[in-house]
């Protein structure tokens, strides 16, 4: 969204192009908002300024704040979501779960830095990725040495994880029957929050965009999601 002729000297980075992220970007004087998730995910049937999405679009354009969504490009990038998640979880030499030419691909698979039982791995994930919650499935006493992950909704890739030798697969948004089938096949699972998992990579995205001429802010992005967990 925006005009390709607008100049950029300040960038705000956020997970979502929420109204609060747009407002914070405008408040900080940003010219560009770089987000992970798309501005328009489902087709708009009408422009209704009572809707937060339409309010965000209007507020951005009125204040000359352009918006760029990276989405799958950042998922697959050599320094993107999956690589950043994998760097703190796996030993050096980890690989893409689904490799692609000229880029990284989807997911990551490798040897865990420390062999852990399922419950200890869940606690480690909460600490490493700053997560509010983790749900685990599997034998909590079985030592886990080899794992796979996919940032965001990766439930479709559990078979690829097993084929690559993973004992545990970590992702978000798995469907019930995906979980059932994976566990029946002997794969342990860790299910985490979609947004929190991907947010871990935003500091690295901001660092890549930052130059001596361009100021980059990591926005708080106080969107509508409020996680309540025990």
Say yes or no: 36 and 86 in one domain: no
Total number of domains constituting the chain? 2
Q: Over the chain, what is the mean pLDDT?
A: 93
Residue given tokens 């990284």 in the structure block: 104
pLDDT at 222: 67
* Dihedral of the alpha carbons of 201, 205, 207, 208, in degrees to the nearest 10: 140
8 A C-beta contact, residue 73 and residue 95: no
pLDDT at 37: 92
Question: Which of residues 175 and 47 earns the better pLDDT score?
Answer: 175
pLDDT at 132 over 80: yes
Say yes or no: 64 and 100 in one domain: no
Say yes or no: 118 and 195 in one domain: yes
CATH code for the domain of 111:
3.40.1390.30
15: in domain: yes
Say yes or no: 62 and 120 in one domain: no
Q: How far is CA 142 from CA 11, 86, 107, in A?
A: 46, 21, 23
Note the pLDDT tens digit of each residue in 73-103. Answer: 999 999 999 999 999 999 999 999 999 999 9
What average pLDDT score do residues 34-62 get?
81
| Full domain range(s) for residue 192 | 81-199
Say yes or no: 112 and 144 in one domain: yes
Q: Where are the alpha helices (DSSP H) in the chain?
A: 19-27, 52-62, 72-76, 81-89, 118-129, 158-163, 176-184, 194-199, 202-209
94: in domain: yes
Say yes or no: 185 and 212 in one domain: no
pLDDT at 229: 73
Q: CB-based burial of residue 179 (10 Å sphere; 0-12 exposed, 13-18 middle, 19+ buried)?
A: middle
Say yes or no: 109 and 195 in one domain: yes
8 A C-beta contact, residue 118 and residue 136: yes
Say yes or no: 14 and 52 in one domain: yes
Q: CB-based burial of residue 89 (10 Å sphere; 0-12 exposed, 13-18 middle, 19+ buried)?
A: buried
Say yes or no: 96 and 57 in one domain: no
Q: In the chain, what is the greatest distance between 2 CA atoms, to the nearest angstrom?
A: 58
Say yes or no: 68 and 103 in one domain: no
8 A C-beta contact, residue 223 and residue 20: yes
Say yes or no: 184 and 103 in one domain: yes
How confident is residue 145, by pLDDT bands cut at 50, 70 and 90?
Answer: very high
């Amino acid at each position: 969204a925006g005009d390709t002729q607008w100049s950029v000297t300040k960038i705000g980075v956020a997970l979502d192009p929420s109204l609060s992220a747009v407002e914070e970007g405008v408040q900080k004087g940003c010219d560009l908002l770089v987000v992970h998730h798309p501005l328009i995910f489902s087709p708009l049937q009408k422009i209704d300024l009572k809707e937060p999405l339409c309010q965000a679009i209007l507020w951005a354009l009125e204040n000359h704040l352009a918006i760029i969504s990276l989405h799958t490009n950042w998922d697959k990038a050599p320094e993107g979501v999956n690589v950043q998640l994998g760097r703190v979880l796996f030993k050096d030499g980890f690989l893409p779960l689904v490799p692609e030419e000229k880029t990284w691909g989807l997911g990551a698979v490798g040897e865990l830095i420390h062999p852990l039982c399922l419950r200890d791995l869940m606690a480690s994930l909460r600490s490493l990725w700053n997560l509010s919650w983790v749900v685990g499935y599997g034998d909590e006493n079985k030592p886990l040495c080899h794992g796979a992950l996919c940032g965001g909704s990766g439930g479709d890739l559990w078979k690829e994880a097993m084929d690559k030798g993973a004992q545990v697969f970590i992702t978000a948004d798995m469907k019930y029957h995906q979980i059932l089938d994976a566990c029946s096949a002997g794969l342990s699972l860790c299910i985490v929050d979609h947004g929190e998992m991907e947010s871990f990579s935003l500091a690295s995205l901001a660092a890549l965009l930052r130059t001596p001429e361009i100021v980059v802010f990591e926005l708080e992005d106080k969107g509508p999601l409020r996680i309540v967990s025990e």
